[in-house]
Amino acid sequence: MADLLLSAVALMLVIEGLMPLVNPQAWRQVFTRLLAMSDGQLRFIGLASVALGLLLLFLFRG
């Protein structure tokens, strides 16, 4: 189980590192937009990300 969790974290780091590696200017623009959002908007994005992740886990692990 720990191996699976570590693999998932490693894959997340690889995927999240692709954007600043390939297109750092667009990455900065995304963070500039995120800084301008309200707490409620950021919470909604977080909730949507968690829900989508759980749905994908349910669909592909079930």
Q: Is 20 exposed, middle or buried (0-12, 13-18, 19+ CB in 10 A)?
A: middle
Is pLDDT above 90 for 57? Answer: no
Write the pLDDT tens digit of every residue in 22-54: 999 999 999 999 999 999 999 999 999 999 989
Reported pTM: 0.72
